[in-house]
Amino acid sequence: MIFVLSPAKALDYDTPPTTQRHSDPDYLDDAQELIDLLKQRTPAEIAALMKLSDPLATLNAARYESWSRPFSRDNAKQAVLAFNGDVYEGLQATTLDETALDWAQQHVRILSGLYGLLRPLDLMQAYRLEMGTRLDNARGRNLYAFWGDKITDALNTLLRAERDAGDDEAALVNLASEEYFKSVKPARLSARVVTPVFEDWKSGQYKIISFYAKRARGLMVRYAIDRRARAVDDLLGFDYEGYAFDAASSDPDRPVFRRRQD
């Protein structure tokens, strides 16, 4: 199985990485093309484009200006250690040992507006560029047009490799947000797409609560890493932080996990 995650807006480049191992992103030439476009924008234009405050726009303008190649451990950090939002607090990548990182490197991918598709240990420099940004470029009027079929084709290559390696089930487990998963074209994927749903009890009913659901996505990936999950059925025992599979509310490609905290 291949698991896809969204990136995080929050970044941590202050904490030293817990591993020296790293890899290079596959689409640095594409990222360079986007950075060259962003460098042409003033902080005020960036603020308007991304709906950012003036301080955040100034920060990101500086990030674009300082973005340079080649990447190294001195000017970049592994993606799974640099992202610092709710999903990554659930994943807790800093506590993974080398063997677990190897498994994650093979089975986990992070969708990115700037980098396209990242492996956990891919080095990345700090940035802010959400996938839904309407940035005019040579390939179209937004990042979905920019990335086109490239992300889907890369995932298909991974899924074929999984099948060739004898994995129990070549499935794509979608743990990304709707905004980011729109960069993938499910109809062109050569595998089933499974989208877990996480619900919490509130005000007399189960519902998706954004903060908890984001964290749960990271927890699900951590569960898969810990158990070296090989098939979708291996995920149904997910029980981290009180969640449990609810068969009655689930469909085969939409397993529902619920939690009630009294």
Q: Average the pLDDT over 16-35 and give the result.
A: 98
> Torsion angle, CA of 150/155/156/158, rounded to 10 degrees?
130
pLDDT at position 175 is 98
Q: Residue-wise over 91-124: b if at least 16 C-beta within 10 A, else e? A: bebeebeeeebebbbbbbbbbbbbbbbbbbbbbb
pLDDT at position 261 is 82
pLDDT band at 170 (very low <50, low <70, confident <90, very high): confident
pLDDT at position 163 is 83
Provide the pairing of β-strand 171-175 with 123-124. unpaired
Distances 48 to 13, 31, 58, 164 between C-alpha atoms, Å: 26, 21, 12, 47
- For residue 205, list its beta bridge partners: 202
Kindly report whether the global pTM for this prediction surpasses the value 0.75: yes
pLDDT band at 162 (very low <50, low <70, confident <90, very high): confident
- For residue 171, list its beta bridge partners: 192
Burial bucket for residue 128 (CB in 10 Å: 0-12, 13-18, 19+):
buried
pLDDT at position 166 is 72
Mean pLDDT in the chain? 96
Provide the pairing of β-strand 171-175 with 2-5. parallel
pLDDT at position 164 is 82
pLDDT at position 262 is 67
pLDDT at position 167 is 66
- For residue 175, list its beta bridge partners: 5
Paired tokens of 114: 């700037």
